Amino acid sequence: MLRPTSRRAVLAVMVASLAIAAPAAVVAKPASGCTTGTALVFLPNPVVTTGNEDLKDLKDSDQAVLNDERVAVTLTGLDGSGYLSGTWATVKSETGDAAYSTPADGCTYEYTRHDDRFEQVMAYYWVTRSQDYLHTLGFDGRRWPLVNGDQQRVRINQWGVDNSFATDHPKDEMRFGKGGVDDAEDAEVILHEMGHQIHFSQSADFFATEEAGAISEGFGDYWAATVVEWAMAQAGVTEMTDPKCIMDWDSTSYTRDAPHCLRRLDTGKVYPTDLDGEVHDDGEIWSQALWNLRSAIGTQHADTAILLAQFDWVGTTMPDLAGRIVAAVEAQYTHAEALDAAAVFTARGIVPTP
């Protein structure tokens, strides 16, 4: 869930059964043989890459200032169908054409943002990058279990409102809305939803309480920030605009003040005083703790310990999961780092349960 004005908890969304129209019959084109592709994406969104807070959606129009922010990337793991379907992601879309290419066309997937195929490419690319990052941390099915290691279903622009969500039933999929800025034009929206998918995959009981829902919202925001920073560094970019601002581009549609951020990683909220019972609000307590953990013990140690602690967690409280994260730091790294980790959570009022 995205909108600050939406007060429905993620739990409510997860139990809601939405009537989804059956996909129109599509005559598939022949398998093309493309296993990699060249594409243009936002990395992560045009507000971050321009630093321009005055960018406007203008009804999904093509604009030179936005076209210029597209970056050439390689799509990996494609299954050879010619469509955006591969090892870690498969894109379903009911609006516009499905992106398709052939070796004769150079296996190119280059579109402007007015073309719905642009969002299809964004989703395929960023879902795959999230998995790439998990692999670099060791969640590769050998050292540690895969995390959300299936072929993630993604639906693009098929929901006419300004919201996106992740669900594990009736199907395990993510759906991106097209209200305001098309949600999948902002990598941070895609990665936030990946955060929920990660939790679905790590524990069947993750979403047992409101506080666990808040943890999932906070983790999703954190996951967006940490994966974006990694992906940008891989692309040679080490300086970025306001990394603690989440969904800089999507939020230009519904926030008045600059910088435009749906949420932030530095609100200063403290547990339990600032809990208000709304998962996105309360998630800002958790996301800031994770962001500070990253500074305290380093990104690789922080992200590894956070992910290890989430396996089979049964959705209790922030202090309980914080205790598991500290224990994971102690087990994998040093006692000194575990003390630093505990201090980070305690500073946010989250005293880790021993």
User: Which tokens go with 237?
Assistant: 């970019």
Nearer to Ca ion, 245 or 328 (CB): 245
Decide if residue 337 touches Ca ion (CB under 5 A). no
What backbone torsions phi and psi does residue 195 show, to the nearest 5 degrees? -55, -40
Do 277 and 10 form a contact (C-beta atoms < 8 A)?
A: no
Site membership for Ca ion, residue 162 (CB under 5 A): yes
Please identify, using beta-carbon distances, which residue of 166 and 214 lies nearer to Ca ion: 166
Minimal distance, residue 53 CB to Ca ion, in Å: 12
194 and 220 in contact (C-beta within 8 Å)?
Answer: yes
287 counts as binding Ca ion under rule CB under 5 A = no
**Amino acid symbol at 198:** I
Q: Which CB sits closer to Zn ion, 116 or 193? A: 193
Q: Count of residues binding Ca ion (CB under 5 A)?
A: 15
**Distance of closest approach, residue 263 Cβ to Zn ion, in angstroms:** 10
60 sits near Ca ion (criterion: CB under 5 A): yes
Among 53, 79, 132, 172, binds Ca ion (CB under 5 A): 172
Q: Position of tokens 């990665």?
A: 191
The option from Zn ion, Ca ion, none interacting with 245 (CB < 5 to 8 A, set by class) reads Ca ion
Rounded CA-CA distance 155/184 in Å is 10
- Binding to Ca ion (CB under 5 A): which residues in 246-265? 248, 250
Query: 80 near 34, Cβ under 8 Å?
Result: yes
Lateral strand order in the sheet of 71-75: 71-75, 37-41, 108-109
Query: Nearest distance from residue 217's CB to Zn ion, in Å?
Result: 5
The pattern of x and - marking residues 198 through 227 that bind Zn ion according to CB under 5 A reads -------------------x--x-------
Residue 274 binds: one of Zn ion, Ca ion, none (C-beta under 5 to 8 A by kind): none
CA distances from 286 to 84, 135, 335 (A): 34, 24, 23
Q: Is the distance from CB of 200 to CB of 168 less than 8 angstroms?
A: yes
The structure tokens listed for 164 are: 């996106």
Only segment of 180-188, 278-286, 322-330, 344-352 that touches Ca ion (CB under 5 A): 180-188
Q: Which of 113, 117, 155, 192 binds Ca ion (CB under 5 A)?
A: 113
Termini Cα distance of the chain: 32
Q: Does 183 bind Ca ion (CB under 5 A)?
A: yes
**Which chain residues interact with Zn ion by CB under 5 A?**
1, 217, 220
